Structure formats: C-alpha cells, structure tokens
C-alpha cells in the first residue's frame, strides 16, 4: 500500500489502506518493500518465538496476548532481514517495512501496534489512538481534529475514508481499490470488511460531498481586511516586540542588520 491507517477506539478498531504498491510517481515504496511485506506475511504463519527455559514456543496461533503476537511478528521481520537484507542491499534496495498490527485476544482488551523494520514496535494509546504508514501527511489533519477514544466506529470509518480521500486528492501515488475493516470490541469476529473502488456509491458520495463542503466552509470565511476601522478582526495590527513586520528596503545604503 501507499497509505494505511489503523485506529483504536473504545468501541473497536478501524483499518483502511489503499492497494497500490507503487504508482510510478515516487520512490516511497518499491517492489523490494512489497517482497519484504509478502515474505513477512508468509513466515508469520510458521514463525516460532522460543523463550529460554520455557515450554512450547509462541506462535501467531497460540499467543495469549496481542503483545506476544506482535513479538512473533517482529521476529518474523527479523527473520526476513537475516535472509534477504544483504541481497537487497547489493541490488540497491533498502530493507524497509512498516506494519500496522492490531486485534483482540479473548481475556484482554484490544491493542494496536506499529512495527518497524528492526522488528521493534510501539503501541497506540489514548493520547495517540491511531497509526499511519506510507503517504500519511495529507490525511493527518482530519484524524487529529475528529478522533478521540470515545469516537464511534461508524464516525471513525467515515473519518478514515475522508483521510484517504484527502490523500488521494493530493498525491497521485495513492489510489483505489481501498480495503476497509471495522472490528467491534469484544465480538472476536467481524463482517464489516469491504473492498472499495471509485464506483462504490458511498465513497463517491463522500468524495463529492467532502470537496463541496470544504469549499463552502472556505467561502464562508471572511477575506483578510487590513484596516482595523472596518473590521473587528484586522489582519494588520499594532506591531508587537515579538512579531514585527519585515523591514522594507528602499535605498542601497539600508542594511538588514
């Protein structure tokens, strides 16, 4: 993918990603990165994490906590690194993989992690309830303004789709189809899984409405007014010591410093 977001809420989890690996516009992701991700996915199914002095090895299938499951994923990333990193380096490809990993194991709450190329990871918190990977900057503002731990799942799914639409508008490397998964806490299954293309009626409505509403809000804002006698919100105010206007140079002998 070229953009992916995972969201952790009190009500559940939301995952959304596009399906492009490289649109030929930039070098953010490449075939090398795709091969790493696919290798990690395959190895994860058989990876074993053996603890010193312990009994059975921990696998993705028998982990009793999401933390242990994420440790197995990190070990799978290191496994692929040990196997492929030197060959990729010789080919001029950097070993670079970022993964969003989340879910719930019965007996504990939901958890969401971001896993890095070294196999280490961080966990989402109430203060940072979402992770983004890929071309994340264009879709971040709406997430910061809308999401809180109390946000509902439908609202969060809408927010994620708006974030994706904003990213697609500003970067041609991100595009459909999109994969969306919404998981309700403590249900341990979900049927809210959908692949979205540009013919999807809801996404077409959202794409059109979001652009139109943004324009309406923009048009509703007053233009800047320089003269304080004509407005209560002038752009030009009495200069303060902290923020003085730029000095205008009118003669060759004037100096900035």
> Per residue, what are the HEC states of 75-128?
HHHHHHHHHHHHHHHHCCCCCCCCEEEEECCCCCCCEEEEECCCCCEEECCCCC
Tokens of 186: 């403590």
- Whether residue 214 is contained in a domain is answered as no
Query: How high is the pLDDT of residue 54?
Result: 66
What is the block-wise mean pLDDT of the chain (257 residues), using blocks of 10 residues?
89 89 45 76 91 81 94 95 90 88 94 94 93 87 93 96 90 83 95 92 93 92 82 73 70 71
Query: How high is the pLDDT of residue 27?
Result: 40
pLDDT tens figures, 113-124 = 999 999 999 999
pTM for the full model? 0.82
Residue 188, phi-psi category: left (phi > 0), alpha (psi -120 to 50), beta (remainder)? left
The total number of structural domains in the chain stands at 1
Task: Tell me how long the chain is.
Answer: 257
> Residue 73 pairs with which residues in a beta bridge?
none
Q: Are strands 178-184 and 192-196 parallel, antiparallel or unpaired?
A: antiparallel
Residues 179, 19 contacting (CB under 8 angstroms): yes
Q: Pick the closest to residue 134 from 45, 13, 29 (CA basis).
A: 29
Residue-number span of the structural domain to which 24 is assigned: 3-200
- Whether residue 7 is contained in a domain is answered as yes
Q: Pick the closest to residue 114 from 134, 100, 128, 103 (CA basis).
A: 100
Query: Helix, strand or coil for residue 54?
Result: coil
- Whether residue 124 is contained in a domain is answered as yes
Query: How high is the pLDDT of residue 109?
Result: 94
Round to whole Å and give the CA distance between 22 and 30.
6
Tokens of 92: 């001029």
- Whether residue 42 is contained in a domain is answered as yes
- Whether residue 10 is contained in a domain is answered as yes
Name the phi and psi angles at 134, rounded to 5: 90, -140
Query: How high is the pLDDT of residue 32?
Result: 43
Residues 190, 183 contacting (CB under 8 angstroms): yes
- Whether residue 244 is contained in a domain is answered as no
We report the CATH number of the domain holding residue 195 as 3.60.20.10
- Whether residue 207 is contained in a domain is answered as no
- Whether residue 27 is contained in a domain is answered as yes
Query: How high is the pLDDT of residue 30?
Result: 37
Query: How high is the pLDDT of residue 181?
Result: 95
């Amino acid at each position: 993918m070229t953009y992916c977001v995972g969201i952790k809420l009190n009500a559940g989890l939301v995952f959304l990603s596009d399906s492009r690996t490289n649109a030929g516009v930039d070098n953010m992701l490449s075939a090398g990165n795709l091969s790493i991700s696919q290798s990690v996915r395959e190895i994860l199914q058989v990876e074993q994490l053996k603890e010193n002095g312990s009994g059975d090895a921990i696998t993705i299938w028998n982990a009793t906590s999401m933390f242990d499951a994420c440790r197995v994923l990190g070990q799978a990333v290191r496994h692929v690194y040990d196997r492929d990193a030197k060959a990729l380096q010789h080919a001029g490809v950097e070993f670079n993989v970022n993964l969003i990993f989340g879910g719930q194991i019965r007996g504990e709450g939901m958890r969401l992690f971001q896993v890095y190329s070294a196999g280490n990871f961080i966990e989402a918190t109430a203060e940072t309830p979402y992770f983004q990977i890929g071309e994340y900057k264009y879709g971040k503002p709406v997430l910061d303004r809308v999401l809180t731990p109390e946000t509902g799942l439908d609202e969060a799914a809408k927010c994620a789709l708006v974030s994706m639409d904003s990213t697609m508008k500003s970067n041609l490397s991100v595009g459909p189809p999109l994969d969306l998964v919404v998981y309700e806490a403590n249900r341990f299954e979900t049927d809210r899984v959908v692949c979205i293309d540009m013919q999807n009626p809801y996404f077409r409505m959202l794409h059109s409405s979001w652009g139109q509403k943004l324009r309406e809000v923009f048009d509703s804002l007053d233009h800047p007014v320089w003269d304080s006698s004509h407005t209560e919100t002038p752009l030009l105010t009495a200069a303060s010591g902290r923020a003085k206007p730029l000095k205008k140079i009118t003669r060759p002998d004037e100096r900035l410093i």
